[in-house]
């Protein structure tokens, strides 16, 4: 039989492994929240942006999808053993979306890269969304 000390030691080891395994998940989740908030801002903005607002929303949705896949990938693939061994005052919603997209990109940049390629694809979509929002600000009234 296992002693209580040995069981406690095993539980501490498992908790440590779990902490290492999911160390960057808060960054991925924070990026997802940033993107969801940016999408909400864009959805509330006027639609007179030459199609760029809508394209930014498409890119945000794709980035959110990639983040979700990256989180799932990280949870499915236990890599613990490797670890052990410009403001526009007339467009506040568009500007707020741009700020949130930049925050999402910052969170994605800070997350570990081991997400099966999903993090990198999410960054590309976020960059595309940033470009579209900037174009929308320029095209807007």
Give the Cα separation of 56 and 49 in Å (integer). Answer: 11
What is each CA distance from 40 to 26, 46, 94, 96, 101, in whole angstroms? 21, 12, 10, 10, 12
Instruction: Indicate whether this model's pTM tops 0.75.
Output: no
Indicate the domain borders of the chain: 24-139
Give the Cα separation of 54 and 87 in Å (integer). Answer: 20
pLDDT in tens, 68-94: 998 888 877 755 444 444 444 457 888
pLDDT in tens, 11-60: 665 655 554 444 557 888 899 999 999 999 999 999 999 999 999 999 99
């Amino acid at each position: 039989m296992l002693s209580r000390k040995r069981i406690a030691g095993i539980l501490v080891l498992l908790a440590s492994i779990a902490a290492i395994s999911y160390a960057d998940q808060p960054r991925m989740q924070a990026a997802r929240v940033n993107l969801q908030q940016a999408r909400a801002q864009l959805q509330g903005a006027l639609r007179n942006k030459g199609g760029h607002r809508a394209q930014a929303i498409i890119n945000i949705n794709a980035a959110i999808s990639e983040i979700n896949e990256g989180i799932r990938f990280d949870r499915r693939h236990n890599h613990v053993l490797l670890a052990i061994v410009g403001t526009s005052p007339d467009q506040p919603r568009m500007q707020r979306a741009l700020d949130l997209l930049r925050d999402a990109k910052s969170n994605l940049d800070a997350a570990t890269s081991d997400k099966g390629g999903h993090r990198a694809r999410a960054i590309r979509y976020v960059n595309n969304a940033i470009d579209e929002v900037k174009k929308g600000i320029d095209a807007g009234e």
